[in-house]
Structure 1
Amino acid sequence: MAAAVLYNAWVLEAVLPTGLDPRHSYVSELYAADQPFHTLFGGIETVTALLVAAGALPRPHRPAAGRWFLVAFAAASVADVIVPMRCAPSVNTACEVVNPWHTTTSALAHAALFGSMALLVAASVTDRARWPLIRRWGPWVLGAALLTAVSTVGPLFGHPGWHGLPQRAHLTLVGVWLALLAMSLRRQGTGGR
């Protein structure tokens, strides 16, 4: 559950003087190399990734493919921090909108995330007794997360602006997904009580 909360630590931008407009900036800009809270947000992203990886450790009755996609998601998230955006393009017009390395690690993180979601939702359909929360809510969260993720790509195609809101909605949905996983694992650990 801690990973679900930490994944949405971007809400700290409401109280920290980041200088970024959440409507028009990517959350990755919070830990861009030239930003004042680079270390804070990069550290939170790394801790979150480690928690996700730890939660994906082998457990009985847990689908292996979905678990490995979660590990890949965590690894790509750490890579996101290792190769951050050089600067924040939403406030610095000289900054490149597409940083190739960061864009690649972000794309890998999303591919792994959506892979884990799809595989674990599919597993919940075949193993109905073990994954009722994922079976009930997973398809909705997956669909909404895909829609909001697609809504964030405007700047990559030369159409910046208003991508920050759908991205933050997307990150909230990822937090919901991580919370669903945590609650499902907790229910399994207590025999479904």
Structure 2
Amino acid sequence: MGGDTSAARTDGRHVRWRGRLTTGGLVGAALLYNSWLLETAVPTRLDPRHSYVSELYAADQATRPLFTAFEFGSAALLVLAALAWRRQGGGPGWWALVGFGAASTADVLLPMDCAPSLEPGCNAVHPLHTVTSGLVHFFLFASMAWLAWWAKHHPEQGGWRTVGRWGLPLTGAAMLAALATVGPLLEHPGWHGVPQRLHLLFVGGWLLLLAYGVHAGGSVRAAHPVRATTAPLLRGGNRFPRGGSGTLPG
């Protein structure tokens, strides 16, 4: 039993370490993913009501280096966080989050050529950028739906009860907001900037909710590392010697 207990304690430390890494990564990614809030301080020339956030890092925009750095940072933190926690439950959802981070990186590497809201002759449909943006949304909603579903069916894992309660409503709200941004792609521009920025806030809220689930759920697992080693003995029935005290031998 001594070796099992020592291994369980080591595993508990590893869970705590991975939990801190994942929680910090998700919080940082949520903040960087909403770097568009700097529009209030940085002279972008864009009207937030009628422009896509991706116009901030369009190929011909002076703000491209700044907002590209934020996007790369957010994607890197997402991938790091998802890989650190992928084996702790809800595996496919974390792999989808890795895909989300990778697609976000591709989205920045294949930007719009110009900012459609500033240049009337600029086409809002940039083929490669449109494809990468579609992949971003596919992986995002796949991760949201899977992890929200997983959390709803594992309420015993501490903070995952909260993730299960609010995950699906947040997924629905983020999806509706995303659908409301397609006007320019259908040659009906105007006011698409508002729902897109709401969408990004919903995604940031989702990442913070995930961070809470990991923090609280990881604390529960790390606090009870011995359960996995004692459960097989207990399931096997009463194996204590007759007349024993009912406690495991030392």
Percent of matched pairs sharing the same residue:
51
Counterpart AA for 2:75: A
Query: For 1:104, which of 131, 134, 141 is the aligned residue?
Result: 131
Q: Structure 1: how far apart are the matches of 2:133 and 2:213?
A: 27
Rg comparison, structure with higher value:
2
Match of 2:60 among 23, 31, 34: 34
Give the Cα separation in 1 of the matches to 2:217 and 2:152. 16
1:149 Cα shift? 0.4
**Could you tell me how far apart the structure 2 residues matched to 1:74 and 1:149 are?**
18
What is the deviation of 1:58?
Answer: 4.3
- Partner deviation per Cα, 1:103-123 (whole Å, 9 max, x = no partner): 110110000000000101111
Counterpart amino acid of residue 65 in structure 1: P
Is residue 9 from structure 1 mapped to residue 35 from structure 2 by the alignment? yes
**Runs of 4+ in structure 1 displaced over 6 angstroms?**
none
Picking from 169, 174, 184, the partner of 1:155 is 184
SS at 2:61 equivalent: coil
Q: What amino acid is aligned across from residue 73 of structure 2 in structure 1?
A: V
Distance 1:126 1:58 in 2: 22
Distance 2:41 2:167 in 1: 32
1:88 equivalent in alignment to 2:115: yes
2: CA distance, partners of 1:8 / 1:83 = 20
- Which one is further off, 145-154 or 121-130? 121-130
Distance in 2 (CA, whole Å) between partners of 1:56 and 1:83 is 24
Give the whole-Å Cα distance in 1 for the aligned partners of 2:59 and 2:89. 38
1:138 aligns with 2:167: yes
Q: RMSD value over aligned CA atoms?
A: 1.2
In structure 2, the partner of 1:18 is 44
TM-score (norm 1): 0.97
The Cα shift of 1:128 comes to 1.6
Contact 2:152 2:165 survives alignment (8 Å): no
Separation of aligned partners in 1, 2:60 and 2:133:
19
Q: State the SS of the aligned residue for 2:220.
A: coil
User: Take 2:181 and 2:168, find their aligned partners in 1: how far apart are those partners?
Assistant: 20
Please give the alpha-carbon distance, in whole angstroms, between the structure 1 residues aligned to 2:208 and 2:152. Answer: 19
Task: Name structure 2 gaps, 5 residues minimum.
Answer: 1-26, 224-250
Contact 2:61 2:115 in 1 (8 A): yes
Give the TM-score of the pair, scaled to structure 2. Answer: 0.75
